[in-house]
Amino acid sequence: MGSAMKPPSRPPRKSATAPTGDTRRPARPAVKGAAKARPPVPTAAKSPAKPRTPSKASAPVREKEGGEQRIAKLLARAGIASRREIERMIAEGRIALNGEVLTTPATLLTSLQGITVDGAPVSETEETRLFLFHKPSGCLTAERDFSGRKTIYDFLPKDLPRLMPVGRLDMTTEGLLLLTNDGGLKRTLELPSTGIERTYRARAFGAVTQTQLESLIEGVEIDGMRYGRIDANLERSTGHNKWIELTLTEGKNREVRRVLEHLGLTVSRLIRTRYGPFDLSDSAPGALIEIRRGDLDRFLGALKKLRK
């Protein structure tokens, strides 16, 4: 694969009005170069637990850390599918426990022992893994495409566990895409309430001033859709061609493109360069790098504190 054209080097940034509140992020781990993957930690065999379904007449049963969990949450944590997709699979009668088809996603379990999906046994939850994927332009962030277009999975090694993308990038958007085997981590990283920053660099055509870009720090409403604060800076301008860096925390569908179009710009290239403490570094399009165990543990610890 030919190397993609590199954006211009980054000049000193003009400061925008700082947002209020604590915006600290976890320390950035070094992710240059591939790290050697560690095998999943084996778990001791447990006796099958009888599932418990909360009665409609009783008060809702709260999940306890390390105790009973809803089956949809356990299966998502194991990387089978999203919680919403698992609920659909249960409604379709595709999930069973010890041969008995389950009928409700509210079923409470302590483990996945005895669970089958489409008749295939489900393994216990593997150790959380997180990968940085340099998504090339021209492929979909989807598991498959019935029209035959390339997806991100066409670039991934076949011996990896089932990996789920954290959020999505449009077909023509390139850059950093996080992949994980942990459905719970995927959901946490995607939630706007977690406050994880995403940084993009956009090449756009049109006239815009730094003052206009700085006004985005207060957010903007476009066609009834409210977009939160965006820290935008003009990096380079050659005639009507601009390189603009934008940092945001929501990541709504086509947010960067819509906001720049609202300012009268036409985006010709869009690259996500950072997601939380992780960045593209000097990786090539199509490259996949696994976060080292120590770096991941520190990140998960900081993320847990952030959510408290």
Which residues participate in catalysis according to the annotation? 170
Question: Beta strand pairing status for 174-180 and 266-275?
Answer: parallel
Sign of torsion over alpha carbons 150, 154, 155, 156: positive
Q: Strand pairing partners for 101? A: 96
Lookup: tokens for 103: 């009928």
> Are residues 243 and 236 in contact, defined by beta-carbon separation less than 8 angstroms?
yes
Residues 189 and 176: beta-carbon distance below 8 Å: no
- Regarding beta strands 225-227 and 231-238, do their DSSP bridges make them parallel or antiparallel, or are they unpaired? unpaired
What's the half-sphere exposure (Cβ side, CA atoms, 13 Å) at 142? 12
Question: Is 98 exposed, middle or buried (CB count within 10 Å of its CB: 0-12, 13-18, 19+)?
Answer: exposed
